Amino acid sequence: MPTLIEEYEHVKKDGVVLQRYFGILKATGYDSVDFLQRMSTNDISVVKERGKYSITVLTNEKAKIIDIITVINVGDYVLIITSSDNNQAVMNWLCKYIITENIEISDVTLDYSVWFYIGSHVIDKLNKRYNISTNLNANAIYYDLCNEVLIYRDTTWDYLSAYCVLCKKEYIVSDELDLARISDATFDLLRVEYGIPLYGHEFTLNINPLEAGLDQFISYTKGCYIGQEVISRLNTYNKVQKKLIGLRFDNFSQKIHNAGKLYVSSTEVGFTTSHAWSHKLGKNIALGYLKESIDTEIIAFKNNQIESRIAVKVATLPFIK
């Protein structure tokens, strides 16, 4: 079995693959894209064209995040990719607002496998295997109709190329590209190093998209959607209360596993959401939220693993470029 360091080194060397577990919903009906446009933060009008996709955020009336979703037009229907274990909640939320629209949503999660490819060279291997002619960086997908294999770039990963391959359960693609598999632990390390938010950690019903740094998936010109008034007001009047940040534990060598709280003096000013030990940096790192009003670089951290507060340094995300 390869070590975490060996798995990590394969990312930059030639790319890696792991199986991921997303929720997958199927929307049929001619109002599908227009309905999702009115339900989410991004302008996804490009998805009206077959073979296109877009990433957007579902928010509630208070602009809190329900999920980050990928909307894909494969022709006869639209696929909605949700976070793992969030497919039912997303479907319930969407169906709640269907009144007269021509749209039906069903859960097809169990029909698919999802493989996630990470690394600067994986697109070359995907091109070689599938003879991809479209530009996967321009909201375009690759779709092998015969084998029902669908490929798109996950643009939430800004600084490291990442591609999702969806396929029907009976069609196995993971070993075709001769790439090393990585564990969930290595994936989590990469996610923290590159500042990628995850459902249940960095985004929950307590967080809004501006706090989570999801500005690239928000349109301020497309018109109304659920949560739009709150998001516009927060942005216009600079009222965002906290922001997703990185934290470096420069002087603490014991690996930290549990989330904790952040302090300035005795005042609680934030909290952490995900922790990892970075082999490349040689230290603990974390993602978390800090009040916007805090302008000091050094703050204190405490969780149930540590007896007393320790100093941590606020870091710019991503940790590694």
Q: For the packed helices 4-13 and 184-193, what is the interaxial angle rounded to 10 degrees?
A: 60
Is 290 in contact with 299 (CB distance < 8 Å)? yes
Q: Does domain 4-193 have CATH number 3.30.1360.120?
A: yes
Question: What string of pLDDT tens digits covers the 321 residues of the chain?
Answer: 678 888 999 998 889 999 999 999 999 999 999 999 999 999 999 999 999 999 999 999 999 999 999 999 999 999 999 999 999 999 999 999 999 999 999 999 999 999 999 998 888 888 888 888 767 778 899 988 766 789 999 999 988 899 999 988 766 555 567 888 999 999 999 999 999 999 999 999 999 999 999 999 999 999 899 999 999 999 999 999 999 999 999 999 899 989 999 999 999 999 999 999 999 999 999 999 999 999 999 999 999 999 899 999 999 999 998
**pLDDT attached to residue 172:** 59
Domain 241-315, architecture per CATH: Beta Barrel (2.40)
When computed from its CA atoms, the radius of gyration of the chain, rounded to whole angstroms, is 20
**pLDDT attached to residue 238:** 93
How crowded is residue 226: how many other Cβ atoms within 10 Å of its Cβ? 19
Q: Is 176 exposed, middle or buried, given 0-12, 13-18 or 19+ CB atoms closer than 10 A? A: middle
Q: List residues bridging with 242 in a β-sheet.
A: 291
Contacts of 267 by beta carbon, 8 Å cutoff, 6+ apart: none
Q: Are strands 16-20 and 180-181 parallel, antiparallel or unpaired?
A: parallel
User: Residue 210 to residues 9, 213, 216, 275, 279: CA-CA distances in angstroms?
Assistant: 33, 5, 10, 22, 30
Spatial separation of the C-alpha atoms in residues 217 and 28, rounded to whole Å? 24
User: Structural domain boundaries of the chain?
Assistant: 4-193, 241-315
